[in-house]
Amino acid sequence: MSYVAINVLTVPEGRGEVLEQRFAGRAGSVDSAPGFEHFELLRPLEGTDTYLVYTRWRSQEDFAAWTASRSFEAGHAGRPGAGGPGAGHGHPGEAPAPAAAPAPAPAASDAQLWTFEVAQHSSAATPATPSS
């Protein structure tokens, strides 16, 4: 069964649009990762300042490999509180990247990672296609 990782992001008032723009700016960057199945950024409607970043993977090993990848690192560089396992960590033997422009202010003030194994699931039925 699939492996689900949900990054729970606390987003201060007025920073939700910034968070959404940052995700839009790297849209599709995870799509080609081995074992990747699904992504959703869930915006809260009321009663909370928490966004959920939902990803589904073929296996826990596929998720772990992605969080250790250069693609993940690049997408989470300089964003304290917006990463997950492996965020902001360099690769062994690499010199730190030279300082360029200062990192943008974080859009989230806190992050937690929830992980699950899919025990059961259901999907909407595919509509029947009329035959010719």
The CATH number of residue 47's host domain is 3.30.70.100
> Could you give the number of structural domains in the chain?
1
For residue 1, what pLDDT band results from cuts at 50, 70 and 90?
A: confident
CA distances, 70 to each of 6, 35, 60, 87, 123 (Å): 20, 16, 18, 10, 33
Percent of the chain having pLDDT more than 70? 73
Q: Is residue 80 part of a domain?
A: yes
**C-alpha 125, offset from chain centre:** 27
pLDDT band at 131 (very low <50, low <70, confident <90, very high): low
Residue 125, in any domain of the structure? no
Tell me, yes or no, whether 123 lies in a domain.
Answer: no
Q: What is residue 101's predicted lDDT score, i.e. its pLDDT?
A: 62
Which one is predicted more confidently, 86 or 115? 115
With respect to residue 20, please indicate whether it lies within any of the assigned structural domains: yes
Instruction: Report if residue 96 sits inside a domain.
Output: no
The confidence score (pLDDT) of residue 99 equals 54
In a domain, 44, yes or no: yes
CB 27 within 8 A of CB 52: no
Residue 131 counted as domain residue: no
Write out the residue range of the structural domain in which residue 67 sits. 3-89+106-117
Residue 15 inside a domain? The answer is: yes
Helix ranges restricted to H, 15-59: 16-25
